[in-house]
Structure 1
């Protein structure tokens, strides 16, 4: 709704000058412009606001603006004023328009719509949060499995430290179990903090596989000071996709040397 630009004049009252603004109301009546700050001094009206399947009854000063009505509705609906669109008699109203000047009276009906762009942003934010939670849960499951494997590594380490011989396949099988968890991390799409947690688990698996390498070498040659009898290498490949997940392949080669003493 268009209104004429307010005109101004200066009135002298008891020696004090004050500026008065005038505005043209519908019907051609020129009246003193209302001070928006004093809207609460006027009569109160109750407005029925329809928001989808929800209905609200809002009480506001009769001379409020639609912008002020939006701020009241924000507390009722959770929608920020910039996310709201208010329609009265089938037309959307600007924030600067006054309720009483467009015909809003006591028990008038106003329709509230959510701004489509705002709604899409909220949906996108909701999907992003759901994706993060899904990634958190997936990483947590892997972490629980790695914790179980950690107990087996500790038990295996205690056995080797006691000098008890352990079959090589025990190290190989346990390393493969860690690889399975590593591959699970590869399939997790994560962002933000969830991505950080996934990276932590990748590095933790790395450390345990390296630990198994050392235990295997020690188990094969417990009396060697430099573990030359068994050479175990673990090759880690970092994907260029930025996922930072790793695949590992164990390549073990055993070199056995024997020193023969010749008797005379």
Structure 2
């Protein structure tokens, strides 16, 4: 069955056929490729034939197929776009689509087309809908809404970035304190290597200060870059604590140190029997009396 039909309008007559013969050339040949597009061949009043491509919309409306690139030389219209508390005046070709309008709005709003939802007369419009086909005229008002899923994703990303920034700041404060404590570790190491006897309290107090910083790092929730920085700082603190333990052990064992001669003062206890005393015990009176009592050993 031939599905073609003829349409007459004034001095113009058109012959419409299904898209199986759509891409007409001068030789009259056609490419057979099923689609929802139609070809219209019109006999103009001046004797010229004009081939027009049509496309069938989902609603059953037959409209002329648009070129991918909007003809910028055609008439332009000004559209008032309302975006929250902001108002944008946009100039676009009258034959543009809502998708074209979204591309223009990207430069003014920072929202990419897939993040935009355009409403006209209370209804959301698709990207391929033509402005003039739905009644958009000069100074018409269009409402722009940000896609909820996109907005939620942005909020999550912003919160995550804030958390990372906060964690990095906390790790940075710990790093500053560790740098100060590391100077004291270097001073203790120089003293121990130089043969100076250092009180054990110095090692204990400094180790506790490092442990305080380690607890701060453990209580810091971090992800991404902040997590990596925290891991590095934890290992750094643990390294200083281990170094202090080694210095303390070396300081407690002076004979194990290769140091210069140091002055050692030792206090000796004095016993009645003279054992351990630097002074000899007083002499006992000698006796020449001989007895028969002998001590057995």
Q: TM-score range by the shorter chain?
A: 0.7 to 0.9
Q: Distance in 2 between matches of 1:152 and 1:29?
A: 83
Instruction: Tell me: CA distance 1:208–1:102, structure 2 relative to 1, closer, same or farther (3 Å).
Output: same
Instruction: Give 1:22's aligned residue.
Output: 54
**1:120 & 1:162 partners in 2: Cα distance?**
63
CA RMSD of aligned residues (A): 2.5
Which protein has the bigger strand share? 1
- CA drift of 1:37 comes to 1.8
Aligned pairs, how many?
217
Does structure 2 retain, via aligned residues, the 8 Å contact 1:36–1:64? no
> How many Å separate the matches in 2 of 1:194 and 1:123?
19
What SS is found at the alignment partner of 2:195?
coil
- In the TM superposition, 1:168-247 aligns within 5 A as 168-224=200-256
Q: Per the alignment, in what secondary structure is the counterpart of residue 256 of structure 2?
A: coil
Q: Residue by residue, what CA displacement relative to the aligned partner does 1:39-94 show, whole Å, maximum 9, x if unpaired?
A: 32320111000000000000010000000100000000000100000000110000
Unaligned runs of 5+ in 2: 1-35, 259-297
Tell me which structure has the larger Cα radius of gyration.
Answer: 2
Q: Which structure ranks higher in relative contact order (CA pairs < 8 Å, sequence separation ≥ 6)?
A: 1
The structure with more helix, counted as a fraction of residues: 1
Matched, 1:104 2:127: no
**Deviation digits for residues 223-264 of structure 1 (CA, Å, limit 9, x no counterpart):** 2169xxxxxxxxxxxxxxxxxxxxxxxxxxxxxxxxxxxxxx
Q: TM-score, normalised by structure 2?
A: 0.68
Structure 1 length-normalised TM: 0.76
Secondary structure of the equivalent of 2:139? coil
Residue matched to 1:256: none
The change in CA–CA distance for 1:146 and 1:52 in structure 2 (over 3 A counts) is same
Asked whether the 8 Å contact 1:49–1:57 carries over to 2, the reply is yes
